[in-house]
Amino acid sequence: MALKATIVKAELQISDLDRGYYASHGLTLAQHPSETETRLMVRVLAFALFAHERLEFGRGLSTDEDPDLWRREYDGEIALWVELGQPEESRLRKAAGRAREVVVLNYGGRAADLWWDKLGAGLSRLRNLTVLDLPAEQADALAAWHARGFRWNVLIQDGEVQIIDESGNTLALHPRARQQSASLVA
């Protein structure tokens, strides 16, 4: 018998002072049986970082054509393509050709460093690619907040992310830009 996805519901109140974006989002996520809690929570973080009324999750781990998150314009153009972890260089090149902006939110600790050491020179030629690193200890702290339902107030200012849960607990995250595109989509 195949395992089924776990449904996770999240409510995010986002105040992104860096982009001037303020909105509430109710999210329903399907956590594939092979998806770790860390990856799921990094997906939620990525949504908060790039929140927009048209930002949506891809179809999931089993679909190679979709990114983890993306934002399409009304005319179908892909404005933003977001990948998590350490995607293959060929996948990022394809994404860079299809989307105005491509972002990788890398969270694998030492594996992230090895991935960049291997692919960084080639990826640096992609002018519309941003690579953000989330330190392993911060990704682990985020994973510890995993629940089947949660509410967060998210404040983003000067690149720092402050998350406050419904109990008043606070988590500070500091994604670091390893590579910044010429003009990241707002």
- Counted domains in the chain: 1
**Residue at 65 is within a domain:** yes
Contact call for residues 72 and 79 (beta carbons, < 8 A): yes
* Amino acid 134: pLDDT: 96
Bridge partners, residue 28, by sequence: 9
| Closest to 129 in 3D by CA, of 119, 139, 138 | 119
Q: Amino acid identity, residue 71?
A: R
Domain assignment present for residue 33? The answer is no
- Other CB atoms closer than 10 Å to residue 132's CB: what's the count? 20
Q: Would 151 be classed as within a structural domain?
A: no
Residue 60, domain member (yes or no): yes
Q: What is the pLDDT of residue 3?
A: 74
- What's the CATH code of the domain at 107? 3.10.640.10
Q: Output the pTM of the full model.
A: 0.93
Domain containing residue 62: 42-144
Question: Does the residue 149 lie in any domain?
Answer: no
pLDDT at res. 4: 84
Burial of residue 25 (CB within 10 Å: 0-12, 13-18, 19+) is middle
> Does residue 2 fall inside a structural domain?
no
Whether 10 is covered by a domain: the verdict is no
pLDDT at residue number 184: 56
Q: Does residue 113 lie in a domain region?
A: yes
Q: For the chain of 186 residues, list the mean pLDDT of each consecutive stretch of 10.
A: 82 97 96 91 97 90 78 95 96 96 93 94 95 96 94 97 96 95 62
Please tell me the predicted confidence (pLDDT) of residue 185.
46
